Amino acid sequence: MKYKKFFIIMFILILCSSISALLAPIFIQLWKANGTSLDTKKIVFIVLLILASKVLTILFTIFREKFAKEYNKGNFISYIKNIFNMNYDSIIEKGAMNLLERASISVNSIYSFMMSGYIQIFSSLLVALVCLILIANVNLYLALIMLLALPINYFGYKLLNKKLKKKSEEMQKSTGMGFQEILSYVQEVDYVKQLSDRSVIYNKLEPATEKVYGSMARVNEYAQSMTVVLEGINEIIKTLLLLIVVYDYMANSSSIYSIILVTLIFPLYFANVSTITNSNIEKRNFDIAKDFEKELIANKEADGSEAIDMINDIELDISSINIKDMKLDFNANAKLKKGDIVRINGANGSGKSTFAKGLVKFRDVKIIKVNGIDIDKCKNEDIRDRIEYVVQNAPIVNGSLRKNLLLDFDDGSHIDLTQNQFIRSILEKKSLDDEILIGGTNLSGGEKQKISFARSLLKNPDVLVLDEICSNIDKESTKEIYDYLDKTREERICFIISHDDLTSGLINVNINA
């Protein structure tokens, strides 16, 4: 286990905290057994023991939460890796926002179980057992009634959790899908802001908000109703116990120590019974989180084993393209080498973008060969390292121009961005330290696409795949991109999907889908 040392320390701290919580009732039981009278010193001593127990609990909480950041970050990144390792169509079908929402919930569920239920259940069982032994020395019937509360709570919550698991899984999926639908409207700021009457949009958000909050309400309604029933049973048991103790004290003139002991033991016992039963709930959420992880792994994309250091040629022998259950005629037969600039022609929906995705192994398109090797057999990482796929919606993040250009690099300090001719053209109007807002809202369409295109050049790819990147930008930016491709054509193979009128002499291979 990666965090074995931490969990051992956590277990020791919880055990110490539990033992310290038991010291006060243990001493009272000893004084009662020895017939020692209660005095001020003993009362102060008991108070100090209780304070010490609370201090240990605080220390445990601080230690746990300091670790929580790294633990949760590690789990979250693990989920993100699994999401991006899924096959492309599964990500699209399930929705990136939905997957992200479920990943966030799963991280919290794992943390809650590992930091509480998983570790604390053992110490809680110990505390509950000692409490029963101490009470049995006072009154055996009290101990038996208290013992009865344990299976009632455990099996009651187990039954509750069995139904809650299914409801929680449905809620997790519904909230993720709902938020994804809401985001699809909210992120279109320009469109929504320009509407004179936004009530239409608000009405369209109603089904999505129903998915989110309706599913939450159904889970909470069931969980809270059943919890009230179980807590009501606990209250009846506690009341019955107190009535027995008070009656015994008044009828039989039993020791005042019995009253003090019971006063300390009851809340301690039922708090730990609650921890034991709650661990069952946390285990349910933990299981859902692990099931989600298995779901991600089950949809992992296929990978090859052949290493590719450089792409010298690409061979196409394609007669059709499959998109799920749909088959499209798509004729592409060519052997391409560096210096070739290929235009993919075809109507909308003819499979051009699917073909482009096949070149980077997002989708399975047969037959594509790289250096004479079937692309299916090539390592995904190597293909995506040597082929840059540039899309119409340029990915722009909040940060400097430098940060956006070096998005593919952990540390780009060794890269002299001014050495690239195309980047120098961008720097004529901007500096590397200029701040760019989220989504590039302070950039023109042409500026965003030029940044995206420039970024693709920094790895010196052997193949460039440009999917409608100039469809919504100005003619000047379009000309700059195509002129640069023409001047540097011998450095790579380039595929262009575009409805634009391209520069004369740029294209030397045409594929008509």
Which residues on neighbouring strands pair with residue 344, listed in sequence order?
Answer: 497, 511
Residue 25 has a CB neighbour count (10 Å cut-off) of 23
365 and 417 inside one domain: yes
505 and 451 in a common domain: yes
Q: Is residue 304 part of a domain?
A: no
| Tens of pLDDT, residue by residue, the chain (513 residues) | 566 777 777 777 777 877 887 888 888 888 877 878 878 888 898 888 888 888 888 887 887 777 778 888 889 999 999 999 999 999 988 888 889 889 999 999 888 888 776 777 778 888 888 888 888 888 888 888 888 888 888 787 777 777 777 888 788 788 888 888 888 787 776 677 767 788 888 888 888 899 888 888 888 888 788 778 877 888 888 888 888 878 877 777 667 777 888 888 888 888 888 887 777 777 778 888 999 999 999 999 999 999 999 999 999 999 998 887 788 888 899 999 999 999 998 888 888 999 999 999 999 999 999 999 999 999 999 999 999 999 888 888 888 888 888 888 877 667 788 887 888 888 888 888 889 887 788 888 888 888 888 889 988 999 999 998 887 778 888 888 889 999 999 999 999 998 777 666 889 999 987
Written as six digits, the tokens of 113 are 């179980």
Domain of residue 173, CATH code: 1.20.1560.10
**DSSP character string of 400-453:** EHHHHHTTT-S--TT--GGGSHHHHHHTTT--TT-EE-GGGTTS-HHHHHHHHH
* 483 within domain boundaries: yes
Question: Are 213 and 360 contained in the same domain?
Answer: no
User: Which is nearest to 20 in space by CA: 60, 53, 48?
Assistant: 53
325 shares a domain with 294: no
Q: Which residues of 438-469 are buried (b: 16+ CB within 10 A; e: fewer)?
A: ebbeebebbbbbbbbbbbbbbeebbbbbbbbb
Structure tokens at 321: 């393209």
In this structure, are residues 10 and 119 in contact, taking their beta carbons and an 8 Å threshold? yes
HEC string of 172-240 equals: HHHHHHHHHHHHHHHCCHHHHHHCCCCHHHHHHCHHHHHHHHHHHHHHHHHHHHHHHHHHHHHHHHHHH
Q: Is the Cα dihedral 307, 311, 312, 314 positive or negative?
A: positive
Whole-number Å distance between alpha carbons of 484 and 341? 12
- Examine residue 306 and state whether it is found in any structural domain, yes or no: no
Q: In this structure, is residue 480 part of a structural domain?
A: yes
Ordered strands of the 373-374 beta sheet:
326-337, 313-323, 368-370, 373-374
Q: What is the total count of domains within the chain?
A: 2
Domain span at residue 346?
313-512
CATH code, domain carrying 332: 3.40.50.300
Residue 305 domain flag: no
Residue 194 lies in a domain: yes
My answer on whether 337 and 454 are in the same domain is: yes
> What is this structure's pTM?
0.74
Residue 124 lies in a domain: yes
